[in-house]
Amino acid sequence: LKCTEKYVYYLSFQSKSDIISTVEFNHTGELLATGDKGGRVVIFQREQESKNQIHRRGEYNVYSTFQSHEPEFDYLKSLEIEEKINKIRWLPQQNAAYFLLSTNDKTVKLWKVSERDKRPEGYNLKDEEGRLRDPATITTLRVPVLRPMDLMVEATPRRVFANAHTYHINSISVNSDYETYMSADDLRINLWNFEITNQSFNIVDIKPANMEELTEVITAAEFHPHHCNTFVYSSSKGTIRLCDMRASALCDRHTKFFEEPEDPSNRSFFSEIISSISDVKFSHSGRYIMTRDYLTVKVWDLNMENRPIETYQVHDYLRSKLCSLYENDCIFDKFECVWNGSDSVIMTGSYNNFFRMFDRNTKRDVTLEASRENSKPRAILKPRKVCVGGKRRKDEISVDSLDFSKKILHTAWHPSENIIAVAATNNLYIFQDKVN
C-alpha cells in the first residue's frame, strides 16, 4: 500500500490532564495501549465489525483504564521518580487475558487485563451482599453457580520488576521466546524472565569505571523479532550495536557495529547531538533496522555495517536552527519511528503536530498534520508542506511559524492494516486509510 494513500481522520481522544508518553498496538491490532505522564494506561479495543456494516471498519473505544505507576521518592538522592510511562510492550496473547509490560524510569510491571462477565452466586458462608452468615443458620449446602454480569475489564499487576536499574529505563523489549524480556537504561541492559522478579541478568554494561569518562549512553534497545539470541542497542553517538547472547554472558563486545561516517560538509557544533539515536526498530521481517536521529530516519541492512541503505530527511530545514533548538532543549526531543506491517512504509513525527511517512519503494514521502482543524468526519488529511526559502505558497507554513511545543514523538502502526495512532501532546488521533 502506498504511503500516499489518503488518510482519513477517524477519531481522537483527549486526556483530561496528561501528555501521552507512549502508544502501542498489540500483536493483532485489536488493542491499542497508551501510557501517559501521570502513570496511567488506557487501552482501546477495536469493536468487532458488525455484519450490517461490512464496509466500515471497527472503531476503537476505551476498554480499560488503570493506574500503572505511582510517583515515588528516592530518599537517598532526594529526587522524585516520575510515574511517567516510558514504554508499553504487549505480550502475544496466549489465553483469554491480555498481558502487557509497562515501565517508568525505574520499575517494570507486568499487567494482566482480563474480562469478567460472570459472577459466582450462591455462597454458603456469605450472603448476597458478602456479609458473613452465622454458621448456625446454615441448614443446607449448595454449590455456587456462575451467573452472567455486566462486562467488567480488570487490570491486575501480576509482576513487579523493581530495583534493577540505577539509571533511567528507556526501552523494554519482549523476546521472541516469550519467556524473557530486556529492559535498558542509560548504561545497562538487563535480561529478565517473566516469572522471576527478584533477579535479572545484566547483559550489557557500558558504565565506565570512572564516571567522569562517560561520553556515551544507551538510548534504545530491541530484540530481534525472530532470533531470540539477538538484540540491538543504539547510543547517543549515533552507533548501533548488534549483540548475540550466545557469544558470552555479558554482551559488551558487539557482534556487529553500525555507524555511518560523518559527512564533513554538514559538520557543526551540534553534529554529535543530532546524531544521537532516539529510537531503533527492527523491521517485521528482521532483515532491517530503522533508526531515528534528530533530523533523519535511516534504514540499515543487518548485513551492512558501514552505512545505512536508506536515509530520509524528516525536517532538514531545522538544520540552520540548531542553536535555537539547543537553547530551548528541543534538540534533545526523542522522536520514535515505526514500520508499517509490510515494512514498505515508515513513519515518524515532527514539530507543529506534523508527522511524516516515507514509502521505501516509491521513494515518495508525505507530511500530514494531526490537529483538531483537520478532524472532521471522514476528512481526508491534506498533505502539508514547510516552506524553507523565500516565497511561501498559500498552504505552506514557514519554518519560523512552526510551533515547537506541538511535537509528535509517539506513533504506532497497526500490524496488518493501514491504521495509525498518533499522539499529539495529550491528544490521541487515529487515522485510517480511505475506504471507498
Q: Is the dihedral of CA 427, 101, 286, 288 positive or negative?
A: positive
By beta-carbon proximity to other proteins, the closer residue of 37 and 112 is 37
Across 105-115, b (16+ Cβ under 10 Å) vs e yields bbbbbbbbbee
Candidate residues 56, 119, 147, 287; the one interacting with other proteins per rule CB under 8 A:
56
Question: Does 10 help bind other proteins (rule: CB under 8 A)?
Answer: yes
C-alpha cell at 213: 569518562
Going by C-beta distance under 8 Å and a sequence separation of 6 or more, which residues neighbour residue 357?
3, 345, 346, 347, 365, 366, 368
Candidate residues 130, 135, 377, 390; the one interacting with other proteins per rule CB under 8 A:
377
Candidate residues 53, 140, 198, 436; the one interacting with other proteins per rule CB under 8 A:
53
Q: Output the smallest distance, CB 27 to other proteins, in A.
A: 23
Mapped onto helix, strand or coil, the DSSP state of residue 223 is strand
By beta-carbon proximity to other proteins, the closer residue of 79 and 304 is 79
Q: How many residues bind other proteins (CB under 8 A)?
A: 82
Question: Does 66 help bind other proteins (rule: CB under 8 A)?
Answer: yes
Q: Output the smallest distance, CB 303 to other proteins, in A.
A: 24
Question: Does 382 help bind other proteins (rule: CB under 8 A)?
Answer: no
C-alpha cell at 167: 539509571
Question: Does 114 help bind other proteins (rule: CB under 8 A)?
Answer: no
| Residue indicated by cell numbers 542553536 | 323
Question: Does 306 help bind other proteins (rule: CB under 8 A)?
Answer: no
Candidate residues 216, 244, 310, 365; the one interacting with other proteins per rule CB under 8 A:
216
Going by C-beta distance under 8 Å and a sequence separation of 6 or more, which residues neighbour residue 101?
87, 88, 89, 90, 91, 108, 109, 110, 111, 172, 174, 181
- Pairwise CA distance, residues 230 & 244, whole Å: 5
Question: Does 206 help bind other proteins (rule: CB under 8 A)?
Answer: no
Candidate residues 24, 30, 82, 222; the one interacting with other proteins per rule CB under 8 A:
82
C-alpha cell at 55: 464496509
Q: Output the smallest distance, CB 364 to other proteins, in A.
A: 28
By beta-carbon proximity to other proteins, the closer residue of 17 and 199 is 17
C-alpha cell at 25: 498496538
Residues 90-109 that bind other proteins (CB under 8 A): 105
